[in-house]
Structure 1
């Protein structure tokens, strides 16, 4: 049986809440129940779930995103808290051995994190990627997953972006260039 894992990427207040520092707004909020549903499904089957959250330091002038985006997901702020139903589902399973929380400081959930090592230790061979932003962190994570030979599944109703054109482009790119299953 092919072991799979759910990745929930950057589904935080700063990226989803209407007052978030770098919010997707309504598109991000609309996928809340879908991601929570995936969390419950994976938890029911005791399959690994990884919550990967952007982590920035206040007034960090050396980070490459500093000139691209307003400050967001600052360590120690509520902007880094998970949003809505996803936060509730996370809380429900947070002490389970199959639930993992990792901070990340780059777009890809693999860059500078032990994600690949943790997946390999658990024998995981397929990744189901959810969260935001489709054309930034989801895209870069999917590219790295491809380069590491992980088959990838993307549910179009469990990813969103503040850029609808970029969102649609990324969905096509996942299927046509990365061989991902997009449904």
Structure 2
């Protein structure tokens, strides 16, 4: 039997809301319903829903993203809170044993975290990826998962990024280089 988990990557106000510090804007907002629908489906099937979420310190001179992006997803800020319908969903389900939210400090949800241990302890073999940004954090998480031999499904209607070109390139890369199934 296949044990699977849904990862909802970085779906926060800073990445999604119009006034977020590093927002993907309308494309990211458009996937809110798809993400929550998938979360409900996975949870009702007894599968895990995992929410790896960026956590940064403003102007950290040791973090490589400081040179690339404005401060975002800072601890204890509105920007790091889950966006819209996902915030409501998480508030209702955060105490469920199959819901796991954790901080990450790199693009990949596997880098410097216990995600691989969490998955293996629960005998989870297949990963379904959603969230933002398709060509950054979702992509790097997918590459890490591939390198750890996790079969991948990317939910096209539940991932978004800054540009159509970035979205198109990442989806092709998932399929052609990581052997991911693209769920439309």
In structure 2, how many angstroms separate the alpha carbons of the residues matched to 1:127 and 1:91? 23
Distance 2:135 2:163 in 1: 8
Matched, 1:8 2:8: yes
Partner SS for 1:103? strand
The equivalences for 1:29-44 within 5 A come to 29-44=29-44
Query: For the residues of structure 2 that align with 1:182 and 1:42, how far apart are their CA atoms?
Result: 17
1:166 aligned counterpart, secondary structure: helix
**Match of residue 18 from structure 1:** 18
Counterpart for residue 108 of structure 1: 108
Give the match for residue 166 of structure 1. 166
The Cα offsets for residues 68-110 of structure 1, whole Å up to 9 and x where unpaired, read as 1111001111100000111111111111011101100000000
* 1:91 match: 91
Q: Secondary structure of 1:82's partner?
A: coil
RMSD, matched Cα: 0.6
Displacement of 1:148 in angstroms is: 0.2
Superposition misfits of 4+ residues, deviation over 6 angstroms = none
* Distance in 2 (alpha carbons) for counterparts of 1:55 and 1:42: 25
| TM-score between the two structures when normalised by the length of structure 1 | 0.98
Equivalent residue number for residue 58 of structure 1 = 58
Unaligned runs of 5+ in 1: none
Structure 1: distance between partners of 2:134 and 2:74: 21
Q: Deviations over 1:16-60 (max 9, x none)?
A: 000000000000000000000011101111211111100001221
Please give the secondary structure, in 2, of the residue aligned with 1:21: coil
Q: Distance in 2 between matches of 1:167 and 1:8?
A: 17
SS in 1 for 2:100: strand
SS at match of 2:103: strand
Q: With the length of structure 2 as denominator, give the TM-score of the two structures.
A: 0.98
Aligned residues: 183
